[in-house]
Amino acid sequence: MNTKLNIIGLLFIVLGFSFLSSCKKSNRFAIETNPKEENFHIKRFDVDLIAVDTSDIKNAVAGLYKKYPEFMPVYISEILNENPKDTDRVSALFRNFLSDTTFTPVNKDVLARFQDISNIELSIADAYAHLQSYFPKMELPQVYFFVSGFNRSIILNDSLIGIGTDLYLGSDYPEYARLSYKYLTYNMRSECIPVDVVSAWLFKNFPVDVKEDRLLDDMLYRGKVMYLLSVLMPDQHPNDIIGYDKLQWEWCRKYEKDIWETILDRNDLFSTDIMLIRKYLNDAPFTSPVSQDSPGRLGTWVGWQIVRNYMDKNKDVTLVQLMVENDYQKILDKATYNPR
Residue 178 predicted with pLDDT over 50: yes
pLDDT attached to residue 180: 82
Report how far residue 223's alpha carbon sits from residue 225's, in angstroms, rounded to the nearest whole number. 5
Nearest in space to 148 (alpha carbons), one of 76, 250, 209: 76
Burial class (CB in 10 A: 0-12, 13-18, 19+), 2: exposed
Same domain, 271 and 290: yes
pLDDT attached to residue 18: 39
Residue 299: band (very low, low, confident or very high) from pLDDT cuts 50, 70, 90: very high
The lowest-confidence range among 14-28, 124-138, 156-170, 280-294 is 14-28
User: Does some domain include residue 7?
Assistant: no
Same domain, 194 and 215: no
Nearest in space to 224 (alpha carbons), one of 113, 334, 139, 302: 302
User: Does some domain include residue 27?
Assistant: no
Considering its fold, how many domains does the chain have in total? 2
Range of the structural domain that residue 272 is part of: 207-335
Report how far residue 4's alpha carbon sits from residue 7's, in angstroms, rounded to the nearest whole number. 5
pLDDT attached to residue 13: 36
User: Does some domain include residue 25?
Assistant: no
Same domain, 173 and 41: yes
Report how far residue 95's alpha carbon sits from residue 48's, in angstroms, rounded to the nearest whole number. 14
pLDDT attached to residue 26: 45
Same domain, 197 and 217: no
Q: Is the dihedral of CA 336, 283, 78, 100 positive or negative?
A: negative
Same domain, 191 and 218: no
pLDDT attached to residue 30: 87
User: Does some domain include residue 16?
Assistant: no
Please list the residues that pair with 145 across neighbouring strands: 44, 163
Last residue of a domain, one of 187, 204, 221: 204
Residue 159 predicted with pLDDT over 50: yes
pLDDT attached to residue 57: 96
Residue 119: band (very low, low, confident or very high) from pLDDT cuts 50, 70, 90: very high
- Asked if 308 contacts 339 with a C-beta cutoff of 8 angstroms, the reply is no
pLDDT attached to residue 2: 46
Residue 176: band (very low, low, confident or very high) from pLDDT cuts 50, 70, 90: very high
Q: Is the dihedral of CA 182, 183, 184, 190 positive or negative?
A: positive
Q: What is the mean pLDDT of residues 94-119?
A: 97
Q: What is the mean pLDDT of residues 205-226?
A: 93
Report how far residue 183's alpha carbon sits from residue 194's, in angstroms, rounded to the nearest whole number. 20
Q: What is the mean pLDDT of residues 310-335?
A: 97
Same domain, 217 and 166: no
Same domain, 57 and 116: yes
The strand pair at 142-146 and 160-164 is best described as parallel
181-183-184-187 Cα dihedral, nearest 10 degrees? 150
Q: What is the mean pLDDT of residues 286-312?
A: 98
pLDDT attached to residue 209: 84
Q: What is the mean pLDDT of residues 160-182?
A: 94
User: Does some domain include residue 239?
Assistant: yes
User: Does some domain include residue 318?
Assistant: yes
Report how far residue 340's alpha carbon sits from residue 338's, in angstroms, rounded to the nearest whole number. 6
Q: What is the mean pLDDT of residues 312-325?
A: 96
Same domain, 61 and 175: yes
- 3-class secondary-structure state, position 313: helix
Q: What is the mean pLDDT of residues 278-291?
A: 97
Last residue of a domain, one of 176, 204, 232: 204
User: Does some domain include residue 20?
Assistant: no
Report how far residue 64's alpha carbon sits from residue 201's, in angstroms, rounded to the nearest whole number. 25
Same domain, 154 and 239: no
pTM score:
0.90
Same domain, 249 and 324: yes
Same domain, 79 and 211: no
Same domain, 248 and 189: no
Last residue of a domain, one of 186, 204, 222: 204
Report how far residue 81's alpha carbon sits from residue 90's, in angstroms, rounded to the nearest whole number. 10
